Chains A and B, each alone.
Chain A
Amino acid sequence: MSRESQIGVAIVLLLLSGLLLRAALADQPWGVVTVLPVENDPAEAVREVSPETPGVQVSVARTTGLWLAAFFTLACYSYLYKDNPAYKLTESIIVGVSAGYWLTASFWDVIVGKALARLMPEQMRAWALPNLDPADPDFLTLVPLTLGALLFARLIPGGAWLARWPLALIVGTTAGLKLVLYLDGDFVSQIRNTILPLVVFNDNAFDLDGSARNILLVTSVLCCLTYFYFSVEHRGAVGRVSRCGIWVLMITFGSSFAFTVMGRITLLTMRLEFLFRDWLGLLPPNVS
């Protein structure tokens, strides 16, 4: 066994020892989800409550879920040490569960909720949507349904050309919608937002902060635009302004990267909170 693998085994043994120690020292239940039955609520049979609540029951299904979630969290982070079978298993399960969830949600919300509910309202009311209002079938729904089905024609040898019709509709509609709205929101409005007074007065008094902010904003925009203006060689004054544009872009990318890192740290924080509060019970529960 390589030294790297030995350290990996040692980390796993350390985690297991920690769990045993937690179990030995625990003075109250941990690692279990306790529930109370909910009456007269079709959407929810049981509700999660704290273990101290009178009359609680341990939910086997939710407790299993809790332990699986803890295992998957640790397995995901184990990749930082080394690629391993636990990480690969977790990765595959995430992909599979996501795909399954998307498929199911799309079936119930799009095929049943939007298409079949309009096409066969009475049948859908009897089968899946008891609160649906009575209505006449809307046979126009057959048009998008047929077009949607035609997208799968790509899978038929020699029938791929049929998929071009719905694709043409999708591309045309998207382009038409976005062209006008992007032109308004992202182009005209943004130009208007950049036309700012360079000397700002507030209540007849000179506003240094506002002026500096507007000057910086307008200058940055002009520098960036110069950087992307390739009809003139970037030499001399144009080159220097263009270089300032690069700096502005770099600062923007740096800001984006820093925000991304911030998001990843928040994710780590949340998973640690989950492990130490929800799973191990070492942190006090959220106040509510």
Chain B
Amino acid sequence: MTTLTAILASLQRLDRRWIFLAMLIAVLIPVLTRVTYPETPTAMTSAVFNKIESLPSGSRVLLPLDYDPGSEAELGPMAKAVIRHCALKRHKMYFLTLWPTGLPLLERNLRQIVEGEFKEVGLKYGVDYVNLGYVPGEAVAVKLLATDFRKARGQDNTGTSLDRLPMMQQVRSAQDMDLIMAISAGYPGVKEWVLFAAIPNRIPLGMGVTGVTAPQMYPYYPNQVVGLITAIKGAAEYETALAAAYPDEMSRLDASGIQRMGPQLWAHRLMIVLIVIGNILQLTRGRGGRK
């Protein structure tokens, strides 16, 4: 009993930096061992996947990637998975970002995936994909994009007029899209795409969001949005669905969403243990205080 009391007393005085160290170890070991666990796509993730899968080849998909390096860890894997899916289905991809700091990430995705992984497919700029770049104006920009692309952005990211690009000639606004697949970390982002583009114009909208914003977006599903990919878990689910549908193509590509779920599991286990210990300590301290 004395030993237990001593342990509890020492835990009460535990320096929080030991907890940081424990968390580092819990995350580092799965990163180094590259342990992965099976994922099962949930209904919300499957809904997005099925929508992109069901669109006929050559459909127009608007891909606003509204996030910055601070959210790259969560949203990067899902953006990659969605772009790969669109490229595999040979959809026409219209990229843009409402965040100036999102532009380098957008360009990197284009270089690595569309012009790198799918180089052999021969996707042509201006015919199969276009980079509209950073569109300033936040919520107003979304409203403009929903009514007239050229008022929001007259040129693509290289300064070429939109009318010179073959894939833009039949497109006046976001209403000409078969799907908007918005991946966003906050404002301006998915909320603006729902309220300013999707609902008033009845445009199908899929969402990819960070964990922090996910609870605010759930109410829009299923009546106002097609589906929802939530944080790194959603990205891992999407990668699983993609690997199941395209096993040959996906076997040669990385699955960073699935890879990052290993450390998640161990970090969550550690947190549950810490919460239990914390509550026990609180209870014992409470009893001691009452005594």
A253 nearest in chain B by CB position: B215
Q: Identify which of residues 253-288 in chain A touch chain B, using a CB-to-CB cut-off of 8 Å.
A: 255-256, 258-263, 265-273, 276, 282-283, 286-288
A98 nearest in chain B by CB position: B101
Does residue A5 face the partner (Cβ distance < 8 Å to B)? no
Q: Are B232 and A182 in contact (CB under 8 A)?
A: no
With a cutoff of 8 Å between Cβ atoms, the chain A residues found around residue B74 in the complex are 263, 266-267
Q: Spot the interface stretch: A14-22, A54-62, A123-131, A149-157.
A: A123-131
Q: Are A131 and B101 in contact (CB under 8 A)?
A: no
Q: Are B271 and A261 in contact (CB under 8 A)?
A: yes
> Could you tell me the distance in whole angstroms from the C-beta of B253 to the nearest C-beta in chain A?
6
Q: How far is the CA of A28 from the CA of B169 in the complex (A)?
A: 50
B26 nearest in chain A by CB position: A265
Q: How far is the CA of A129 from the CA of B161 in the complex (A)?
A: 10
Q: How far is the CA of A270 from the CA of B20 in the complex (A)?
A: 17
Does residue B286 face the partner (Cβ distance < 8 Å to A)? no
Q: How far is the CA of A256 from the CA of B211 in the complex (A)?
A: 7
Q: Are A113 and B155 in contact (CB under 8 A)?
A: yes
Q: Are A259 and B215 in contact (CB under 8 A)?
A: yes
Q: How far is the CA of A98 from the CA of B68 in the complex (A)?
A: 11
Q: Spot the interface stretch: A160-168, A187-195, A197-205, A230-238.
A: A187-195
A274 nearest in chain B by CB position: B73
> Could you tell me the distance in whole angstroms from the C-beta of A224 to the nearest C-beta in chain B?
12
Q: Are B27 and A177 in contact (CB under 8 A)?
A: no
Taking A259-B231, A263-B231 as contacts, is the C-beta distance between A270 and B134 under 8 angstroms? no
B159's contact among A110, A114, A129, A256, by CB below 8 Å, is which? A129
> Could you tell me the distance in whole angstroms from the C-beta of A272 to the nearest C-beta in chain B?
5
With a cutoff of 8 Å between Cβ atoms, the chain B residues found around residue A106 in the complex are 100, 136
Q: Are A178 and B139 in contact (CB under 8 A)?
A: yes
With a cutoff of 8 Å between Cβ atoms, the chain A residues found around residue B112 in the complex are 288
A272's contact among B28, B214, B256, B271, by CB below 8 Å, is which? B28
A177 nearest in chain B by CB position: B143
Does residue B200 face the partner (Cβ distance < 8 Å to A)? yes
Q: Identify which of residues 133-186 in chain A touch chain B, using a CB-to-CB cut-off of 8 Å.
A: 133, 173-174, 177-178, 181-182, 184-186
Taking A130-B159, A185-B195 as contacts, is the C-beta distance between A270 and B72 under 8 angstroms? yes
> Could you tell me the distance in whole angstroms from the C-beta of A98 to the nearest C-beta in chain B?
7
Q: How far is the CA of A241 from the CA of B257 in the complex (A)?
A: 41
Taking A263-B231, A287-B252 as contacts, is the C-beta distance between A133 and B211 under 8 angstroms? no
Q: How far is the CA of A170 from the CA of B148 in the complex (A)?
A: 21
B residues whose Cβ falls under 8 Å from a Cβ of A: 17, 20, 23-24, 27-28, 31-32, 34, 70-74, 100-101, 103, 111-112, 116-117, 133-134, 136, 139-140, 143, 153-155, 158-161, 163-164, 194-196, 199-200, 210-212, 214-215, 219-220, 223-224, 230-233, 252-254, 256, 259-260, 263-264, 267-268, 271
Since A129-B159, A132-B155, A269-B260 are in contact, a sample of 14 more A-B pairs with Cβ atoms closer than 8 Å, ordered by chain A residue number, is A44-B111, A113-B153, A113-B159, A181-B199, A185-B220, A193-B223, A193-B224, A256-B215, A259-B214, A262-B232, A262-B264, A268-B27, A270-B260, A288-B253
